[in-house]
Amino acid sequence: MPHKAKALVLVVAVVLGSCDYDTPSAPVELSRAAALVEAAPDTSVVAHLLPGGQHNGTQVAGAVIGAAGGSVALGDFEIIVPAGAVALPTRFSIRLPNAAQQNKLGYAYAEFGPHNVDFAVPVTLRMPHAATDAAPDAAALWWNGTGWDGLTTAYTGDGRIETAVGHFSYYGVSRAPFGFTLPGG
């Protein structure tokens, strides 16, 4: 094989080998952010992050967590994985919608990953509450693919709300009460 061909094969192998498929490049990130906005068209019930509560810069956080449990956070959004929730090392992630692309204040919701995984033990999600325009008795929300469902919600001492879930999707904070009494308030 000629030297130029060998060099080209080596360059392609290095480029493909160095790709991190869990952290998309900017063009992919923009399309993922657009998909996130399209996935939840009725954001009228979702609280907005207050200007001081917006997350500038990093829009994605992730960690590999195994059977012993662990956590990952992005601003006031947090995943707490208890021991036994997953049997094998699993990549957990939090991805925020791009507020600049929405041309609005950021919404208090995020895409939590991994998708298509049912946890053996419920995982706790924490989301901003005090740093939003949400009502004092707002609820955690789950995007079911066609609308938002309210979830049992507790209020933390640090100005966040939390809920326990058995799988991941899009979760957020309601702007107003979501039609039922919530414990922990």
DSSP assignment of 148-185, as one string? Answer: EEEE--EE-TTSEEEEEESS-SEEEEBSS--SS--TT-
Other CB atoms within 10 A of residue 9 CB: 11
> How far apart are alpha carbons 106 and 61 in whole angstroms?
17
Neighbours of 100 (CB within 10 A): 10
Element (H, E) at 7: helix 3-17
| Tens-level pLDDT at each residue, the chain (185 residues) | 554 444 444 433 433 343 343 433 333 333 444 444 445 446 778 887 887 655 555 589 999 999 999 999 998 999 999 999 999 999 999 988 765 444 455 778 889 999 999 999 999 999 999 988 898 889 999 988 888 889 999 999 999 999 999 999 888 888 887 654 344 44
Global model pTM greater than 0.85: no
Q: Would you state the structure tokens that stand for residue 48, as one six-digit string?
A: 């907005």
* Strand, helix or coil for residue 42: coil
